[in-house]
Structure formats: C-alpha cells, structure tokens
Amino acid sequence: MIDVQRIATVNPPAKLNLFLELVARRKDGYHDIDTVMVAIDWCDHLTVRRTRDPGVLLKCDWAPSRAEYAASLGISSSDPLLDIPTDDSNLVCKALNAFADHFDIEGGFACTLDKYVPAGAGMGGASSDAASALLAAARLCDVPENHQALVSIASAIGSDVPFFLGCSSDQPSNRSATAAKATGTGTDLEFLRNRFPFHAVVVFPGINLSTAKVYAQSSVPPIPLSSGAIVDAWTSLDFQELSKQLMNRLSDPARKLAPQIDEILESMWRNGAITCQLTGSGSACFALCQTKGDAEALESTIRSSENAWLENAIVRTVAAAQLPPRVSIQTIPEID
C-alpha cells in the first residue's frame, strides 16, 4: 500500500483600505482605528502539508521568479526591497507555530509561499499569508475554519490578520463577504452586507514602508471622522457616494516618509482617476473605478504615460475577492 498525504493550497488575497481614521493613541503603543477594508484578487500562493518532525519549514520567494519580479520593478534580484524573512519571523511560520502550540499538534508543517503581493505596500500581504496558513492548517488538522481560537491566534500575530480569516467572534461565518469595517486595533470586525462591484487600479511604487514608522509619525485628529457614510455607500452599492468618502489618515505621515507618493497620486489624477488614495500605511496607491473596463482603460493610460516612476512601479487592475479564501486539498504520495 502506498502511503498518501494531503497538501492544502490557498491563494491569500491582498487588501485595500477605503477608509482609515485614527481614533485614539493607546497606552500599549497601538492606535484605535476605524477602517474599511476590501479583499482584492491580487494574491500570493501558499501550500501547506503536515510533517512528522515538529517545527515549520518554509520555502518562500518572489513569483513567478525572483528575476521576473525584480525586472517588473526595474531593480536587481539582490535589491533589499525583495528581502522577505524565511525563518520563524515570517508570519506564516508564526501562524503555524501558534496553531501547533494551541491545538497540541503532533509533528509540524512544510510550506511553500510564492509571493506576488508586494511587501510593505499597505496591502496586508504578510497578514493574509498568516491567515491563509491558519485556514490551511485547520483543514489539514480537522479544525473547523471558523473555530474561535483561530481568531485569537490571528489577533496575536497582527492587527490585520483576523480580517483575512473572513470571520470574527460576532460573525463566525461570512461566506459572501469581500469587505469589513474594523475597529479597535483593527481586530474588531463587522463584515459588510452586499458585494459591491469593486474595481480599482493599484500602483505599487517599489517602496517598502514600515507600518510602525508610519504610525509613529501620525497624529490623531481632535474630532475623528466616522466610517458610517462609507459603510452605507458600500452596502447600498452607491459608487458616487463611495468615491466621495475615501479617506486615509495615514496619508500625510506616509507622504512625508516617501514624497514619491504625492507624485504618483498626482499623475493618477492627471491620467483620469476619479478618486485615488494611499492604502493602509502605504506605499501602494489605488484609484477607484466604476467598472472593470474603466479600470483597464485607466491602467493602460497610466502605463503609457510619461512618468519616470513607472520604471520602478507595478500597475495592476484589481477586483474584490471573497473571504475567506478557499482552501483546496490534494492527495499525493507520502514525501517524508
């Protein structure tokens, strides 16, 4: 008899912040925020399998190859922009180690992570990888994917991780959500009704901005704005209103740290964007578009414009993606 084993495959989606307000600076150094995030179809590719030996083995690199990814950003393959941790500090390893500890799993995990989502972009790539690793491990170890322990493990890894699990303590199952309002440090989630036909053009300017540095430069406004209006616009599928309500309080500190962001936003406007802004703590910017066709037309206008920054930027049309991402299981002959 040939021994077989199961491999879980999942495509962790990135996110964009449509609205981000700072509500208060907390004593623990974090900020209470009010944000609305949408998952998008720009995804990494993760496989996870169980191993007899404990611990997490991770193979991680840029895709489709490091050389092609570097070329798309006009940089060399050894550029520090492409440095991603492959040790236990990678959020995939953190997630799987925490999962194994919590559920007392015998043995460990081996994973491959193909990175397509830029790092330090404000697109939540690492957080999404961690959430997908938890979902994959849950499938392999027969833990329900909406088990409440996954939400606590996710929150301890990073503020953005629970969003990518697609469930929360209050909403254990949200099969059709693509967006959520997040409060507290970003971990108190309310998944939004209706699937807004979301389309956008994302520009990643080849700059890795540290989330901690951007927050450190930020200030909480005396009267914080509320995400109420943008949540209403999303749930009533009102594109005009949604485009009026985009806001990101981290824009100013991010623009101070990376002045190129201003140049990129200005050229997105000049090339016909209806509305555009930074996502999260940056450095990626996006323009909201009414249809896929509008987004593709804007992408091609931006690509053919004469902007020096295009040499080192990735420009891409995206649409909303469903949460949680689907985990598929393949059975293969035993590798160990």
Ligand X SMILES: C[C@@](CO)(OP(=O)(O)O)[C@H](O)COP(=O)(O)OP(=O)(O)OC[C@H]1O[C@@H](n2ccc(N)nc2=O)[C@H](O)[C@@H]1O
Ligand Y SMILES: Nc1ncnc2c1ncn2[C@@H]1O[C@H](COP(=O)(O)OP(=O)(O)O)[C@@H](O)[C@H]1O
Active site residues: 15, 160
Decide whether 135 or 298 has the Cβ nearer to ligand X: 135
Does residue 172 have a known ligand-binding role?
A: no
Three-state SS at 150: helix
Does residue 272 have a known ligand-binding role?
A: no
Does residue 180 have a known ligand-binding role?
A: no
Give the pairing of strands 314-319 and 56-62.
unpaired
Does residue 128 have a known ligand-binding role?
A: yes
Residue 125, contacted partner among ligand Y, ligand X, none, CB below 5-8 A by kind:
ligand Y
* CB proximity list for 284: less than 8 A, separation 6 or greater: 118, 121, 122, 123, 202, 203, 204, 205, 278
Does residue 173 have a known ligand-binding role?
A: no
The reply to whether 155 sits near ligand X by the rule CB under 6 A is no
Q: Cβ 30 to ligand X, closest distance in Å?
A: 4
Q: Which residues bind ligand Y (CB under 6 A)?
A: 84-85, 90-92, 113, 115, 119-127, 129, 208, 211, 280-281
The reply to whether 185 sits near ligand X by the rule CB under 6 A is yes
The reply to whether 97 sits near ligand X by the rule CB under 6 A is no
Distance from C-alpha of 12 to C-alpha of 113, rounded to nearest angstrom: 10
# binding residues, ligand X (CB under 6 A): 21
Decide whether 185 or 307 has the Cβ nearer to ligand X: 185
Decide whether 191 or 298 has the Cβ nearer to ligand X: 191
Three-state SS at 27: coil
Do 71 and 65 form a contact (C-beta atoms < 8 A)?
no
Q: Tokens at residue 241, please?
A: 């209103």
Three-state SS at 40: strand
Decide whether 205 or 280 has the Cβ nearer to ligand Y: 280
Among 72, 168, 174, 211, binds ligand X (CB under 6 A): 211
Residue 119, contacted partner among ligand X, ligand Y, none, CB below 5-8 A by kind:
ligand Y
Supply the DSSP symbol for 215: H
Give the pairing of strands 31-43 and 13-25.
antiparallel
Does residue 258 have a known ligand-binding role?
A: no
Among 8, 12, 13, 17, binds ligand X (CB under 6 A): 17
Of all residues in the shown chain, the one whose CB is closest to ligand X is 280
The reply to whether 281 sits near ligand X by the rule CB under 6 A is yes
Among 13, 118, 158, 166, binds ligand X (CB under 6 A): 158
Do 199 and 318 form a contact (C-beta atoms < 8 A)?
yes
Do 41 and 93 form a contact (C-beta atoms < 8 A)?
no
Of all residues in the shown chain, the one whose CB is closest to ligand Y is 126
- What's the CA dihedral at 296, 45, 149, 5 to 10 degrees? 150
Instruction: Tell me the window of 30-38, 60-68, 299-307, 323-331 that interacts with ligand X (CB under 6 A).
Output: 30-38
Does residue 156 have a known ligand-binding role?
A: no
Distance from C-alpha of 153 to C-alpha of 138, rounded to nearest angstrom: 12
Angle 95-180-126 from CA coordinates, rounded to 5°: 30
Distance from C-alpha of 163 to C-alpha of 159, rounded to nearest angstrom: 8
Q: Cβ 265 to ligand Y, closest distance in Å?
A: 17
Question: Where does residue 280 fall: left (phi above 0), alpha (psi -120 to 50 degrees), or beta otherwise?
Answer: left
Q: What residues form DSSP beta bridges with 275? A: 288
In this structure, the chain runs to a length of 336
Give me the residues that bind ligand X (CB under 6 A), please.
17, 20, 29-31, 33, 35, 37, 122, 124, 127, 158-160, 185-186, 211-212, 215, 280-281
Please report, in range form, the residues annotated as the binding site: 118-128
Please report, in range form, the residues annotated as the binding site for ATP: 118-128
